[in-house]
Amino acid sequence: METSENRKASGHSLPWQLSTFYFPLALQGISMSLTYPLVGSVVAHGRLGATEYAIMAQAQAIMFLVGSIGAGLISTGMIFAKTKRGFRNFKLLSISLGIGAVTLQALCAIPPLDRMIFGRLYHLDGEPFTLAKTMLLLSVPMNFSFFIRNTGLATLFREKRTDKATFATFFRIGLTWVCSTLFVHYGLVGWKWGLGLTTVTVWIESLMVNFLSIPYVRRLPGDDDESATIGRQCAFTIPLSLGGIMLNISGTMIPVFLALTQNPGIARNIHYLAFGILNPLSFAAAKMQSVAIAFPPQEHRRGAIFSFAAFAGILMSSISLMLQIPAVAEWYFGGVQNLPAAEIPLAMEAMLLIGAIPLIMAFKSYSEGQAALIMRPNSILASQIAYLAAQVLVFFALVQLKPIGAHLMSGLSILSAQLFSLLVIRIALHANHIADRFGVSHAVSGGH
């Protein structure tokens, strides 16, 4: 098996190894967001226009929320699937969680849950209600493909072959771009074509990822290690997944709070425009969790991985801050997104406020990787609970007290939540170091 020791012996410096591992992941995180507007162009040309795409987005929000049960699987696979037995157990766990997720997803599309979700929560009725639950039900194959993809991704990430994983993602994006262009040109539009295109392309990506990981799976040692049991892997995954579920819930709460502001229409537009840029950058910064797992800080020069996390975070934040340049802001907010000229300065203020979030995300994800390595997933869960609690409390206080403009409220609540979440996980890690100092034993990742 191509181990990290082999790669160290190849003569590449640590910064080079970190860069070649991280930047394909970062590009993957940023580029994946490109597929949604491509599919949107197909769906929005349907009979109901943009409303059709909005309905599909609402249905898939439920799909992603349900799919969050597997949010911790890649980290689990990187740590536990290092032998043939560990990999088999990880694959079985991924499939089992996938079956559970899509079963729950199907239940959400039939009575009585369909009425509770799409009727009471989303206030849909008539044809939009029927379309939403139909789209959710037909999205089951797509959701399951993500769980299949996890087994290959975890293997490639562990082997530091993020270039291969990124190749599969870029192939998916390119195929989506070509097909969406052809579909619109030939009138193959509407939600059926859009959903079908998304489902087929994500399955192709999943199969490619697993195919590319086969040589590394075959090289796994076939020892008798009993430490990577399904039960232990599940106990490690669930806290991470609960954190992912809470993050998805926090996203669904934003529109509820924005509706309570003084200028909900303007606040909503600016929020989605600003975070439409920031979310891919934050997602890229969050890949530092995989970097910290693949390059354990204790095996490298003190502070080297942390310094790289700071570099990556600063880089992602700097990209978002480019929108403080008036010409760039006018081009993007005014030209590309058709935002009224009077609202462009408000959008620039929002971007300035939240520009540090990718940097915070890089530090937090680095800390999450450390927690995963020492088998402390509950520390990550505590951090995500802190995030959700802080976001709700800060947003509620801002709506009630109105100390700032409505266009800044969502950004300030999310910024505050990220900072508090980072503080909590750092405290948890420090508490673990104190426990180590006093001889409190715990399981470690061993062999990474």
Please state, rounded to an integer, the average pLDDT across all residues of the chain. 86
pLDDT at 2: 42
Q: What percent of the chain lies above the pLDDT cut of 90?
A: 47
Give the residue, 440 or 421, on which the prediction is more confident. 421
Q: How far apart are the first and last CA of the chain?
A: 13
Position 301 pLDDT exceeds 80: no
How far is 123 from 130, CA to CA, in rounded Å?
Answer: 12
pLDDT digits (tens, 9 = 90+) for 160-218: 898 899 899 889 999 999 999 999 899 999 999 999 999 999 999 999 999 999 999 99
Residue 44 class from Cβ within 10 Å (0-12 exposed, 13-18 middle, 19+ buried)? buried
pLDDT (tens digit per residue) in 253-290: 787 788 788 888 788 778 878 887 888 888 889 889 88
pLDDT of residue 11: 53
Chain segment 224-240, per-residue pLDDT in tens: 667 788 999 998 898 88
* Residue 445's pLDDT band (cuts 50, 70, 90): very low
What pLDDT, on a 0 to 100 scale, did the predictor assign at position 443? 43
pLDDT 10s digits, 340-380: 888 899 999 999 999 999 999 999 999 999 998 888 888 88
Say whether pLDDT at 446 is over 50. Answer: no
* Torsion sign, CA atoms 337, 339, 341, 345: negative
* pLDDT at site 12: 67
Report the percentage of the chain scoring pLDDT > 70.
Answer: 90
Q: What phi and psi, each to the nearest 5 degrees, are found at residue 12? A: -75, 135
| Domain locations in the chain as residue ranges | 34-228, 241-448
Identity of the amino acid at 60:
Q
CB 394 within 8 A of CB 413: yes
What value does the mean pLDDT take over residues 1-22?
65
**pLDDT confidence band for 1 (50 / 70 / 90):** very low
